[in-house]
Amino acid sequence: MMTEDLARERYYEQLQPLNLAPLWSVLKGLVPAQPVPAARACMWSWNEVYPHLLRAGELITAEEAERRVLVLENPGLPGKSQVTDTLYAGLQLILPGETAPAHRHTQSALRFVLHGSGAYTAVDGEKTPMHRGDFIITPHWTWHDHGHDGDEPVVWLDGLDVPLVTFLRAGFREEFSHKAQATSPGAGNSTVRFGSGLLPIDHVQRGLTSPMFCYPYVRAREAIEVQARATDPDPHLGVCLRYVNPATGGWAMPTIGAVLRYYPRGFATRPYRSTDSTVLVGLEGEAEIRVKGCDVLRIGPNDVAVVPGWSEWTVTARLDTVLFSYSDRPVHEKLGLLREARS
Ligand code: 1HN
C-alpha cells in the first residue's frame, strides 16, 4: 500500500511541471453533489451602517472618492468586494452640492434608493431624480454620473454584476472627458416613455436592458398593493412581483433580476430554495429571515440581508412587510441552470 501511494506521489510530481493534473484527486470537489456557495447568510443593519457612511462624508468628497461607497463584503468572501458569489453590493452616500463624475463600464448597475431626496443620477443624457424605494438602472456601457441639488444626505444601494463580469474577464471602463455629461431635458422621462403601456409604433428594442431606467416606488407600491388584494400570497414566495422590461416582458436587466416582495403581517413562507443568490433590502415593516443552519436575520427598513444560492429560507412577517431584492436569476435561467425546491 505504502509503495503504491509513494509511486502515485512521484507520478503526480512528474505531472506538475508538464501542467498536467489527475482528475481523480479533484473530481468530487469540481462537480459537487449540490452547490457549495462561499458566501454566507448575513445582514447589515441600517442603524449600524448609516453613522459610518456619514463619517465617510466628513473624510472624503464624492469627487475624490469617485464613488463614496461602503462595500457590503460577505464574511465568507473577505477582501473580494462581493456580497454573494456572483454579485456586488455597496451603500453610496452623496451630499448636497456634490457630483460623482461620469464614467461607463461593461458591468450593469442598479440603484435602490434608501434615504433622503434631492439627488439625481444621469444615464446617457437623461437625468432621473431619486426617491426612496425607486429602482433605477444603469445599463452596461452607458455614461453615468450622480449629483445632488437638495439639502440632506442621500444614500442608495448599488447592486452590480461585478463578480460575474470579472469571472468572464469581460470588464471595460472609461472616464468621461468632463465631470458631468450634458443632460437633455427634451430627451424626456423613460418612465413615461416606456412605462405607460405605449411604445413608439416603430420601437426597436436596443440592447438587453429595459429602455425604462427608473421604476418609481409610488408605482411599484401601488402595483404590489393591488396584487395583494387580488390574490393570496404564494405559500413559498409571498406576494412577489418582477421588475420587467416593458418592451419584452423579460427581466429589466440581462444579468440581475430585481423583485418586489410583500408579506402580510403574520404571514410565514414555506421553505424555499433556488440556485440564484439573493440580496434583500428592507423597505417597510419588519420580518424574520431564517436561512437553514444560520442565525435568524431580522430585517427592517433599509437593512440588507443575503441568502446564498441553494440555501433553504423562510420569511416570517412581524408587520406588513415590503422587501426589495436582486439576484443573478436571469443568468441561471439563460444558461438553463435555474433549479428551485419547495417544501
Ligand atoms: C459604479 O460605477 C458605481 O456609478 C457604484 O455609482 C458602485 C462599484 C463597482 C464598480 C462600479 C456608480 C460601483 C461602480
pLDDT (0 to 100) of residue 179 = 75
91 belongs to a structural domain: yes
Residue with cell 456557495: 37
The answer to whether position 25 is within a domain reads no
Distances (CA, A) of 114 to 105, 150, 155, 284: 24, 15, 6, 11
The three three-digit cell numbers of residue 159, written as one number: 447592486
Identify the pLDDT of residue 185: 66
**The domain spanning residue 285 has which CATH number?**
2.60.120.10
Query: How far does residue 131's CA lie from ligand 1's centre (Å)?
Result: 19
User: Which ligand 1 atom is nearest residue 71's CA?
Assistant: 8
- How far away, in angstroms, is 341 Cα from ligand 1 center? 33
pLDDT of residue 283: 98
| pLDDT of 183 | 79
258 lines ligand 1 (CB under 6 A): no
Which atom of ligand 1 is nearest the CA belonging to 111? 6
Write down the pLDDT at residue 188.
60
67 lines ligand 1 (CB under 6 A): yes
Question: Residue 152: which domain range?
Answer: 41-342
Distance 218 CA to ligand 1 centre (A): 25
Query: Is any ligand 1 atom within 6 A of the Cβ of residue 242?
Result: no
Q: How far is the CA of 34 from the centre of ligand 1 (A)?
A: 32
* Alpha helix stretches (DSSP H) within 17-67: 27-30, 46-59, 62-65
- 144-148 and 99-105: which strand pairing? antiparallel
Query: How many angstroms is it from 158 CA to the middle of ligand 1?
Result: 7
Does residue 26 form part of some domain? no
Note whether residue 31 is domain-resident: no
pLDDT on residue 14 = 98
With the most atoms of ligand 1 within 8 angstroms of its CB, the residue from 53, 63, 66, 67 to mutate is: 67
pLDDT at 208 (0 to 100): 96
Whether residue 15 lies inside any domain: the answer is: no
Residue with cell 468621461: 176
Residue 35 in domain: no
Q: Read off the DSSP letter of residue 268.
A: B
CB of 145 shorter than 6 A to ligand 1: no
Q: Which residues of the chain have pLDDT under 70?
A: 1-2, 185-188
- Nearest protein Cα to ligand 1, atom 10: 162
CB of 155 shorter than 6 A to ligand 1: no
Q: What pLDDT shows up at residue 334?
A: 98
Cα(104) to centroid(ligand 1), Å: 9
Ligand 1 contact, 69 CB (< 6 A): yes
Residue by residue, DSSP assigns 204-259 as ---SSS-S--EE-HHHHHHHHHHHHHHSPPBTTTBEEEE-B-TTTSSBSSSS-EEE
Ligand 1 center to 315 CA (angstroms): 30
Query: What's residue 180's pLDDT?
Result: 78
Per DSSP bridges, beta strands 278-284 and 272-274 are unpaired
Residues in the chain: 343
pLDDT at 128: 93
Provide the number of structural domains found in the chain.
1
| pLDDT tens, residue by residue, 321-342 | 999 999 999 999 999 999 999 9
Does any domain span residue 1?
A: no
Residue at 300 is within a domain: yes
Q: Is 144 in the pocket of ligand 1 (CB under 6 A)?
A: yes
9 CA from centroid of ligand 1 (Å):
47
160 lines ligand 1 (CB under 6 A): yes
3-class state of residue 94 by DSSP: strand
Q: Phi/psi class of residue 249: alpha, beta or left (left: φ > 0; alpha: ψ in -120 to 50)?
A: left
Q: Quick one: which atom of ligand 1 is closest to the CA of 145?
A: 4
